[in-house]
Amino acid sequence: MTALINLIWFVFGGFLLGIAWYIIGLFFYITIIGIPLGSVCFEFAKLSMFPFGKEVIRETELKGKQNVSSLKKVFHVIINIIWIPIGIIFTLAYLVLGIISFITIIGIPIGIVYVRMGQFLLFPVGARVVSKKQSYASAVAEEIERRHN
């Protein structure tokens, strides 16, 4: 069912949305400083093209807090602070799209996707788009690790 919904999403706008984010990512890659934001745009393009069955999780949740260096965490915070003005605009835009989608009953799943996309865009650096299975596996591994420590 997820594959069918993703196919419908892809045909009715997901393709164009994803391509737009790939182009934005390429513009960021032109500058050396923009490479982390370009990577974020590529991650978001994956979510934009096929959002159903995907989760957005922090890299520290995916790899474990001990497996992400402190320097990288600080770098993510700095880049996210630089991104905040753009992120707020995109987040609000996706939130408005989500609210508009919630107006109709059939649009509720689409509204949920837009809200989830908006959450990603607020602080995107350090976030990864993974399948729901990977997200659940990561959560279980983190819980097991927490219980053993």
Neighbour count for residue 60 (Cβ, 10 Å): 16
Q: For the chain, which residues make up each domain, given as ranges?
A: 2-148
**pLDDT averaged over every residue in the chain:** 86
What confidence score (pLDDT) does residue 119 get? 86
What confidence score (pLDDT) does residue 149 get? 64
Confidence class for position 71, pLDDT limits 50, 70, 90: confident
What's the gap between Cα 27 and its chain centre?
19
Q: Write out the H or E segment, with its range, that includes residue 114.
A: helix 108-122
The model's pLDDT over 113-126, given as tens digits with 9 standing for 90+, comes to 899 898 889 889 88
Token readout for 15 is: 């393709």
Looking at per-residue pLDDT, the higher value among 134 and 64 belongs to 134
How far, CA to CA in Å, does 126 sit from each of 28, 31, 79?
16, 19, 10
Confidence class for position 73, pLDDT limits 50, 70, 90: confident
